[in-house]
Amino acid sequence: MNELVFRRPVRPRLVSLYQVEAMEDALVQQGVRCERVTMTTTREFVGRVAKHASLVRNFAVMPGRAVLAPVLRRSEGDLFPYCYWTRVIPWSFDVWPSEYDHWESFYRRIRARLAFVSARDSATELQRRLPNVRIVWSPEATDPSKYNPEKPLSKRGIGVLELGRRSAAFHENVRQLLESRGIKHIYEAVPGQKIFATREALALGLGDSVMSVCFPAAVTHPETSQGLSTATHRYFESMASKCILVGEAPDELIELFGYNPVVTLSRCNVTDHLLEILGAPERYRDLVEQNYARLQEVGTWQARAKQIVSCISETLDV
């Protein structure tokens, strides 16, 4: 019988990904013991070298435990050196088609028996390539308790919020219109520059937004996504804030929720559609409440942790 341990890196110089922190909290509630590894400069350097030299691999599995580890954006160097003697179960997002060969090689090198992937179509393709490994689609999720959904839509001060990467076509189509109408429109003036300096400010900003614009990378960055359309954390935290989601829903989000939680904008007359929504946001209250209720069932880290622990128990001796 193996013990299941969740092991995540902590980088003192950087703010930890709050998705991973929420994942940790939910796994603890499921009885999983967690270990935090401080990533010193030396440890990070050696891990990067091991990653680029394809030295992150498994030679033997010592009995006693299995390690569930977040491996985000091919950060497999964080597994060095314990990957050599430990059964590692990776959970990963940003698994893009251009890097399938790298992920396939990585799973083979660590002799994975089970892996979790946040993008449905990536999980399907990696399962095809690795028939002897169980690849499970495990979407991103959120912790609704960290957000502020209380303010009514009609009382919110931000009309349109575009967080992170955006659709250039949509943005240029509506920016001047919203400005001319005096509608508060928040977006990154410089790509990559944070709108909200802290997590708390982000939650407050989302909670004061009528509309959160969400497009998958297949729309905003087709050169990177190569057709892969996946639901990112932005969709879930917008629903947790009871914003009206507008833009486009990836198919996997519709599958997860059982319906389309996003108001799909008219391609013919996007500006009129946007103004119609902003003119009477309370008309969308039922959809917002439905999204919030469904989020509690399928979009939280508590729901995801239950799925993860169940799959591990079914597949491995833990």
pLDDT digits (tens, 9 = 90+) for 69-90: 999 888 899 999 999 999 999 9
Share of the chain above pLDDT 90, in %: 72
Asked if residue 271 has pLDDT above 90, the reply is no
The residue type at 263: V
What is the reported pLDDT for 1?
54
Asked if residue 59 has pLDDT above 70, the reply is yes
Q: What is the 3-state secondary structure (H, E, C) of the chain?
A: CCEEEEEEEECCCCCCCHHHHHHHHHHHHCCCEEEEEECCHHHHHHHHHHHHCCCCCCCCCCCCEEEEEECCCCCHHHHCCHHHCCEEEEEECCCCHHHHHHHHHHHHHCCCCEEEECCHHHHHHHHHHCCCCEEEECCCCECHHHCCCCCCHHHCCEEEECCCCCCHHHHHHHHHHHHHCCCCEECCCCCCCCCCCCHHHHHHHHHCEEEEEECCHHHHCHHHHCCCCCCCHHHHHHHHCCCEEEECCCHHHHHHHCCCCCEECCCCCHHHHHHHHHHCHHHHHHHHHHHHHHHHHHCEHHHHHHHHHHHHHHHCCC
What is the reported pLDDT for 300?
97
Share of the chain above pLDDT 70, in %: 97
**Matching CATH topology for 3-141+300-315 and 144-298?**
yes
- The CATH H-level superfamily of 3-141+300-315 is Glycogen Phosphorylase B; (3.40.50.2000)
Cα separation, 120 vs 115, whole angstroms: 13
Asked if residue 318 has pLDDT above 70, the reply is no
- The CATH H-level superfamily of 144-298 is Glycogen Phosphorylase B; (3.40.50.2000)
pTM of the model: 0.93
The model's pLDDT over 168-210, given as tens digits with 9 standing for 90+, comes to 778 888 888 899 999 999 998 877 778 888 889 999 999 999 9
Neighbours of 298 (CB within 10 A): 16
Cis peptide before 81 (omega within 30 of 0): yes
Residue located via tokens 């990836």: 250
135: Cα within 13 Å, side-chain hemisphere: 24
Mean pLDDT of 140-146: 95
The model's pLDDT over 23-57, given as tens digits with 9 standing for 90+, comes to 999 999 999 999 999 888 899 999 999 999 999 99
Confidence of residue 125 (pLDDT cuts 50, 70, 90): very high
Asked if residue 2 has pLDDT above 80, the reply is no
Lowest-confidence region among 52-61, 155-164, 213-222, 285-294: 213-222
Cα-based distances in Å from 213 to 200, 219, 251: 20, 12, 17
Domain boundaries of the chain, sorted by first residue: 3-141+300-315, 144-298
| Average pLDDT score over the chain | 91
